[in-house]
Amino acid sequence: MKRFAATARGRVQRVGYREHVYNETFERNISGYVKNLDTGEVEIVAEGSEEDLRGFINEINIIRRPIAVKSFTVRWEEATGEYADFEIVRGDIQEETFEWLGYAGNVLHSMDMKLDQSLQVGKETLQVGKETLQVGKETLQVGKETLQTARETKEEIVGLRSDTRKHLDDEFAEIRKELVSIKDALARAGIQV
């Protein structure tokens, strides 16, 4: 078991940093506390395995809107075992209320920004949808024109077949007449066919 005492400086008060630190202990076997200092800094004292503590430090030494840890000093010590769990040490009610109001304002601002981004994505998606619809209409028009061409081609083929059949029927009728004439001429000449 190890212990560290750390001091976080930067934008770490009234931005939900203590709650972030507290939440990062849930997946780790860490005890201790986090509290605001009068200097505007945040103090963190934590005990646990060295591996858990190093992972914990990586997750709390952050710059992630609205939190901005600009400086993070760590002093390693031997564990004392004096903490049963991890807690947030709270200040007076007025200080805590102002901190939560500030944090709530930041959360609302973040939500507003995300809503604006979502609306922008929605507008872009709608524009892409309109362009896709236009391409679809143009494709449908080409399809209609292709279908009309196919109908006209079919009509031409049907007409050509009809003309060809009539022509062939006339030719075969003419050939039959000539064959009958040839047969008659051969029969008059005494030649049996």
Task: Let me know if 18 is a catalytic residue.
Answer: yes
- Find the catalytic residue in 28, 36, 75, 176: 36
How far, in Å, CA of 15 to CA of 99, rounded?
Answer: 7
Residue 132 pLDDT: 92
Per mean pLDDT, which of 14-18, 51-55, 129-133, 149-153 is the most reliable?
Answer: 51-55
pLDDT digits over 118-133, tens only? 999 999 999 999 999 9
- Mean pLDDT (whole number) for 167-184: 89
How far, in Å, CA of 83 to CA of 32, rounded?
Answer: 5
Assign 48 to helix, strand or coil. Answer: strand
Looking at the structure, give the CATH architecture of the domain made up of residues 2-90.
Answer: 2-Layer Sandwich (3.30)
Q: Is the pLDDT of residue 23 over 90?
A: yes
- Find the catalytic residue in 3, 11, 18, 29: 18
Please report which confidence band the pLDDT of residue 91 belongs to, taking 50, 70 and 90 as the band edges.
Answer: confident
CB atoms < 10 A from the CB of 184, how many?
Answer: 10
pLDDT digits over 61-89, tens only? 999 888 999 999 999 999 999 999 999 99
CA atoms within 13 A on the CB side of 193: 11
Please report which confidence band the pLDDT of residue 107 belongs to, taking 50, 70 and 90 as the band edges.
Answer: confident
Whether the full predicted model's pTM is greater than 0.85, yes or no, is: no
Contacts of 34 (CB under 8 A, 6+ apart): 18, 21, 22, 42, 43, 44, 86, 87, 88, 89
Tally: H helices and E strands in the chain: 3, 6
Q: Is the pLDDT of residue 14 over 90?
A: no
Contacts of 16 (CB under 8 A, 6+ apart): 66, 67, 103, 106, 107
- Domains in the chain: boundaries: 2-90
- Mean pLDDT (whole number) for 36-56: 96
Residue 102 pLDDT: 72
How far apart are the two ends of the chain, measured CA to CA in Å? Answer: 123
- Mean pLDDT (whole number) for 16-43: 95
